[in-house]
Amino acid sequence: MIRAVFLDFYGTLAGWQPAGAQIQQEAAAAEGLTVDAAAIDMAYPTANAFMDSENAIRRIAARTEAERGEFFARYEQILLATAGHDVSREYADRVWRRVRDTPKRLGLYPDSLPAVQALAADGRTVGVISNMGTELHQMIEELGLAAHVSVTVSSGEVGVSKPHPAVFQAALDRAGVAADEALHVGDGYESDAMGARNAGIHPLLLIREAGIHAPADCPTVRSLTEVLPYVTENLDDS
């Protein structure tokens, strides 16, 4: 029986408005580069895998300003290369600075609130596990999720980032459930799916983009509204 369902925050429950691909497209255009927004969407998993690997080594948020700048220049370079544009580190840094300085805000995906409401109404403890800093709880409140989310854990509190098992263990402790009584849902293969699995938690990978290949070794959903049906059909009797 699954007693708790944990969800990743950025990329799973909430994303940038305007959308990240649009911001990237406009930032690149300002530097003279024509980039297809759809190609950027398809490139995010590769760039985010790099972010996950770096967070596993040392939290990016805990690095110096210079170190973070170096990381994000490399992140941008990988993102653009995967989208079909090989650029220098210096060029990527200029694009990233434009991305960083673009006015934007976080907003819920359309499926987020209905999914969280359904899980809570079904008697599941709903939690959010994020590599964000300590502002996570405030964001949950501002986005209208606080009434349905009873557990929040951020890497800023724990001191390590997903996929480190300590982040997931903190969520289990706060929810008061065993690992095999919990499911974690997120859009990151290494940080969310493999991180949860290595902590003994059932993983579920969210892949919204239809063109992105689903890995064979992890169950996937295309929308958060599929989470509760997945739990009841596949895990509650296991």
pLDDT in tens, 89-131: 999 999 999 999 999 999 999 999 999 999 999 999 999 999 9
User: Which of 103, 135, 166 is a domain's end point?
Assistant: 103
Place of tokens 């599929």: 226
pLDDT at 238: 58
Query: Are 219 and 120 members of one domain?
Result: yes
Query: Are 23 and 91 members of one domain?
Result: yes
Query: Are 228 and 114 members of one domain?
Result: yes
Question: CA-CA distance, 26 to 114, in Å (whole number)?
Answer: 31
Query: Are 61 and 125 members of one domain?
Result: no
In terms of phi and psi (left: phi > 0; alpha: psi -120 to 50; beta: otherwise), the region of 201 is beta
- Model pTM? 0.92
Query: Are 88 and 119 members of one domain?
Result: no
Query: Are 120 and 8 members of one domain?
Result: yes
How are beta strands 4-7 and 182-186 bridged, if at all?
parallel
Place of tokens 């994303």: 15
Q: Which two tokens stand for residue 105?
A: 């805000």
Q: Which two tokens stand for residue 77?
A: 């370079």
What phi, psi does 128 have (nearest 5°)? Answer: -125, 125
Packing angle, helices 37-57 and 20-30, rounded to 10: 100
What phi, psi does 144 have (nearest 5°)? Answer: 80, 25
pLDDT (tens digit per residue) in 33-87: 999 999 999 999 999 999 999 998 999 999 999 999 999 999 999 999 999 999 9
Query: Are 38 and 67 members of one domain?
Result: yes
Query: Are 178 and 95 members of one domain?
Result: no
Domain span at residue 207 reads 4-14+106-234
pLDDT (tens digit per residue) in 130-173: 998 778 999 999 999 999 999 999 999 999 999 999 999 999 99
Query: Are 94 and 116 members of one domain?
Result: no
Confirm if 151 and 128 have CB atoms less than 8 A apart. Answer: yes
pLDDT at 115: 98
CATH at residue 129? 3.40.50.1000
Query: Are 132 and 207 members of one domain?
Result: yes
User: Which of 81, 103, 125 is a domain's end point?
Assistant: 103
- Among residues 103, 98, 80, 82, the alpha carbon closest in space to that of 34 is found at 80
Number of domains in the chain: 2
Question: CA-CA distance, 165 to 163, in Å (whole number)?
Answer: 6
pLDDT at 43: 96
Query: Are 116 and 63 members of one domain?
Result: no
Q: Burial of 118 by CB count in 10 Å (0-12 exposed, 13-18 middle, 19+ buried)?
A: middle
Residue 181 DSSP one-character state? G
pLDDT at 133: 79
User: Which of 63, 81, 103 is a domain's end point?
Assistant: 103
Confirm if 5 and 129 have CB atoms less than 8 A apart. Answer: no
pLDDT (tens digit per residue) in 191-230: 999 999 999 999 999 999 888 888 999 999 999 999 999 9
Query: Does the structure show a pLDDT above 90 at 12?
Result: yes
